[in-house]
Structure 1
Amino acid sequence: MELRHLQHFVAVAEDRHFTRAAERLMVSQSGLSASVRALERELQAPLFVRTTRTVTLTEAGRALLVEAERILAQVRAAREAVAAVQGVLRGTLSLGTEQCIAGVDVARLLAAFRRRHPDVEIRLRQAGSGALAEEVAAGRLDLAFAVRTRADTDQLRSVPLTSEPMTVLCHPSHPLATGGPVTPEDLGGEAFVDFHPDWGPRRTTDAVFMEAGVQRTVTLEVNDVHSLLELVHEGLGVAVVPRHFGHKREASTLVSLPVKCDAEYETVAILPPHEASSPAARALMSLLAANPADTSDPADASDTPSAG
């Protein structure tokens, strides 16, 4: 089994199309097809179901894709490790992050990284914490800044960034606005604005209400912070969010109330095991640990990251 066969297979799996994959790889379509057929012969299993319009993975193909992506990521990490020993950090840094993650200013951190390592290509992807953890485990991301979703495993480890309490944001005219700290029971009958289920704040809030045994109704589901704050500003619902959301400019007219609960919004850096981490990921984490004041979220300077 040759690496190029795996590279060709992964490209077709990603594009779901031989012609597009061939164009991206800059190889002939006939050569790409031959490469995939050679891999299928060696594995004695069809990897794709082919039609005139598209291709889809078979069960064997789905199983191979997980391992192929991991193998290619390890090969890339090995090449970059050799370059790093030779004194030059090259290659790609593939980073995932949730929106407005606490404990790190992602843009500022990446700018500092680029100044130090201009030969490294930076790729950034936003997604929910569950999806990001899966991407790191599969080798598609070098690391991710997310909300803790699971304990460390043989494929993942987590480095704490920060933790903070959850708060309720509501319109000044809302009945809750004149009170003090609230409990989940106080919020049981409210209409909520919240994120999609995989986003960290939603996961944390769901856990708070589940622990309290209180049902809640999310009537307005969004995928960005600004939309959430605008909907609360219009009085269309309340939102339970990490404390630092209340420091944003769009939240200046909203009332923020502490939530009385034990759960906190805990953010971490998710990485592969030490031996599988890429040189670029290690360099980024070293930069974060060495300069927390320059790379933490300026909205809350009291929450400084620990790279452990």
Structure 2
Amino acid sequence: MDIRNFAGFVAAAEFMNLTLAARRLNITQSALSRQIQALEAYLGVPLFEKVGRNVRLTSRGEALFAKVNDVLLADRSLRMLAGDLGRGESGMLKVGACSQLIERYFPGFLKSWRQRHPGIDVRIEDGGGAELAGRLRSGAVHLTISARPSAPIDPFETLFLGKLGFMALATDEFLEGPGAPIEIADVLQYPVLTQHKRHASREVFDAACRLVGAVPSIVLESYSPHTLFAMAAGGNGVAIVPSSARSFPEGLIRKPVTLRGELLEFDICAMWGNSEPLPAYGRRFIDELRAHIQTENEREQAKQPEEARKRLEAV
């Protein structure tokens, strides 16, 4: 089956007018009619019915529309992969990511990935939740790495990469003894230093506050976790940040945050537009980053019992 017949069907379904659809495809109306007839003969069902000078999908045509779109996307993806292989795979990949995830996972990953794929020019831009979604929607980046939005964003596809939790950091004026988890309800009795609302992970923190029926006394909202750490080190309250954060000032006690006995966690994911398939190297970047994140998280979990043992020995 000629792939152009599928493209003709989709164009006719979008315009509901064969003249306009043919103009969009830069073919004659009679040629478009032949494409649709050939596809109907191939599938064995009528796809359109006439409505005056226009057409509309039959019930069977409506049922098949999404599947035909999938065929076109698969065809574009296949040709893109073939083109990548034929060129020796070269191109540019623009990735938007929140600063905490960049700091936690990208330093070790990005250098080795670029060494394995020298023909791919990877450019990273930091940002937060809605801001990253806007860049993705406008085409400024090819994909984003961030906390999963609280609600699906229609034009985007997502792929789960892993989970992160929250940490409370403060001086001993507010927190006692490192390591043991602290309930979010207990944290909220103190002044809070937290991330700005542009970060998707902030939605999870706010939702947890609502679940325990408490309104946090927020002293500072910041784009930078290091600003929160500095304020916490100065005795200004308890900093609440994702567990991806690193490089803490000395003297701060760190505790995992729990909600009713369970770690307060959120998903991190990759997102990209579903109207155009990622180049093959873009999907490979996501798959290899996911494997790297999982390895790092497993390494982190393995370290926790050893750190707990050392704390007990120091008491």
| Bigger Rg over Cα | 2
**1:148 alignment counterpart:** 148
> Where do residues 138-217 of structure 1 align in structure 2 (5 Å cutoff)?
138-174=138-174, 176-177=175-176, 181-217=181-217
**1:250 alignment counterpart:** 248
> Where do residues 73-112 of structure 1 align in structure 2 (5 Å cutoff)?
81=81, 83-101=83-101, 105-112=105-112
**2:226 alignment counterpart:** 226
**2:64 alignment counterpart:** none
CA gap of 1:104–1:186, structure 2 versus 1, over 3 A, is closer
Output the amino acid matched with 1:260. T
Output the amino acid matched with 1:105. Y
How many residue pairs get aligned? The number is 224
CA gap of 1:126–1:282, structure 2 versus 1, over 3 A, is same
Deviation for aligned residue 1:253 = 2.2
Counterpart contact for 1:232–1:238, Cα < 8 Å: yes
CA gap of 1:301–1:275, structure 2 versus 1, over 3 A, is farther
Larger CA deviation: 123-132 vs 112-121: 112-121
Identity %: 21
Cα distance per residue 1:209-257 (max 9 Å; x no partner): 1222211122122221222111111111111222343xx3424521123
* Secondary structure, counterpart of 2:101 in structure 1: coil
Counterpart contact for 1:103–1:161, Cα < 8 Å: no
Output the amino acid matched with 2:256. P
Q: Distance in 1 between matches of 2:252 and 2:184?
A: 19
CA gap of 1:249–1:275, structure 2 versus 1, over 3 A, is closer
Output the amino acid matched with 1:192. V
Q: Distance in 2 between matches of 1:280 and 1:209?
A: 40
Counterpart contact for 1:91–1:121, Cα < 8 Å: yes
Output the amino acid matched with 1:254. L
CA gap of 1:135–1:280, structure 2 versus 1, over 3 A, is farther
Q: Distance in 1 between matches of 2:116 and 2:229?
A: 36
Output the amino acid matched with 2:253. V
Q: Distance in 1 between matches of 2:185 and 2:210?
A: 11
- Structure 1 portions without partners, runs of 5+: 1-75, 304-308
**Structure-1-length-normalised TM-score:** 0.62
Counterpart contact for 1:167–1:242, Cα < 8 Å: yes
CA gap of 1:88–1:199, structure 2 versus 1, over 3 A, is same
Output the amino acid matched with 2:265. E
CA gap of 1:301–1:188, structure 2 versus 1, over 3 A, is closer
* Secondary structure, counterpart of 2:240 in structure 1: strand
Q: Distance in 2 between matches of 1:181 and 1:301?
A: 15
CA gap of 1:86–1:151, structure 2 versus 1, over 3 A, is farther
- Structure 2 portions without partners, runs of 5+: 1-75, 304-315
CA gap of 1:275–1:302, structure 2 versus 1, over 3 A, is farther
* Secondary structure, counterpart of 1:108 in structure 2: helix
Q: Distance in 2 between matches of 1:256 and 1:290?
A: 27
* Secondary structure, counterpart of 2:286 in structure 1: helix
Q: Distance in 1 between matches of 2:196 and 2:274?
A: 29
> Where do residues 38-49 of structure 1 align in structure 2 (5 Å cutoff)?
none
Q: Distance in 1 between matches of 2:96 and 2:77?
A: 17
Deviation for aligned residue 1:267 = 1.3
**2:258 alignment counterpart:** 260
**2:270 alignment counterpart:** 269
**Structure-2-length-normalised TM-score:** 0.60
Larger CA deviation: 139-148 vs 194-203: 194-203
Cα distance per residue 1:36-85 (max 9 Å; x no partner): xxxxxxxxxxxxxxxxxxxxxxxxxxxxxxxxxxxxxxxx9999645313
